[in-house]
Amino acid sequence: MLTFLTTLFVAAAPAIQTKFAVIGDYGKDGAAELSVSNLVKSWHPDFIVTLGDNNYETGSASTIDANIGKYYHDYIYNYTGAYGAGSATLRFIPSAGNHDWGNASNNPTGLNPYLAYFTLPGLERYYTFRAGPVEFFVLDSDTNEPSGVTTTSTQGTWCHGAMSASRAVWKLPVFHHPPYSSGQHGSSTYMRWPFEQWGASAVLSGHDHIYERLGVGQIPYFVNGLGGKSLYSYGTILPQSIVRYNSDYGAMLVTCDYKEMTFKFINRQSVVIDTYRIKAKLIGTQPHP
């Protein structure tokens, strides 16, 4: 197990802890998804964030409940599927992947089953979610996204503005296609938006079915695609790559308060593979709202 420390500068604030899980490329009904969902639920997270590919293979309405609700219905707000009760509040925070869009280019209606299944803030394809000291900027990195996927697109401009306006201590862009990856798919360079310049504390994505932590500038980039679909081998190893793992399925457990954020990747045998900590340094006495 490797442990690393990075320091950011924020104002002093009360110690209010938030705990959440992060899963990616998980949405394939079967034993692997079941084991990861059991692992995640054993942590009793406040909510679950996904990094795309929630519904294999083609994002169909006929498969979405068995691929998602069967395992996570008790976290899904306004759940109307067949597997039990849902959540009275928003506790399942998904981002869309290429398989959610039908795994096809030029498919403008491909995301319709996903949009009908979830009740999400804003445009639902991309939106913000705030929980205590952390705010998520959930993006749609698929090229079918009608608001675009470049820094200067409508979506990119919205993200820049939302991150600039945020007063959260921790700011986390989350989306499917990784800007940097040593996996089979490799890097989706069009998603190399200036996240650090916009105030990001870390960047999380999926798509490659590996776990990887990379150092880009002064912040970590995570690839987390081991949620249950399949395991990938590595492609070209990037110079920014620090930790890589592809031996088993698993998920990330993240805890944070106004002073520190800790990321862990844990495999389904409950073995901690990687730990990364960002410790805030106090620069004042006023808490963030």
| Predicted local confidence at residue 16, as pLDDT | 77
**Which tokens is 7 given?**
């320091």
Residue 77 is classified by DSSP as B
144 sits in the region (left: phi over 0; alpha: psi -120 to 50; else beta) called alpha
Q: Give me the DSSP letters along 139-155.
A: ---STT-TT-SSTTSHH
- Judged on CB neighbours under 10 Å (0-12, 13-18, 19+), 43 is middle
Give the pLDDT band (50/70/90) at residue 222: very high
Q: Which fold has domain 2-282?
A: Purple Acid Phosphatase; chain A, domain 2 (3.60.21)
Distance of CA 72 to the CA centre of its chain: 15
Residue 8's CB: how many other CB atoms inside 10 A? Answer: 17
Looking at beta carbons, which pairs linking 159-163 to residues 24 or more positions away fall under 8 Å? Answer: 159/126, 159/193, 159/198, 160/198, 162/128, 162/137, 163/137, 163/195, 163/198, 163/199, 163/200
Distance CA 260, CA 274 (A): 17
State yes or no: pLDDT of 37 exceeds 60.
yes
Please state the pTM of the whole predicted model: 0.93
Residues 6+ apart with CB under 8 A from 39: 250, 251, 266, 268, 270
**What is the percentage of the chain residues whose pLDDT exceeds 70?**
92
- Which residue reads 């639920």 in tokens? 41
Give the pLDDT band (50/70/90) at residue 10: very low
**Which tokens is 282 given?**
């106090």
State yes or no: pLDDT of 253 exceeds 60.
yes
Give the pLDDT band (50/70/90) at residue 280: confident
State yes or no: pLDDT of 287 exceeds 80.
no
CA nearest neighbour of 117 among 86, 78, 74: 78
Distance CA 236, CA 222 (A): 16
**Which tokens is 222 given?**
């995570």
How is the chain split into domains, by residue range? 2-282
Mean pLDDT, residues 66-90 taken together: 98
Give the pLDDT band (50/70/90) at residue 281: low
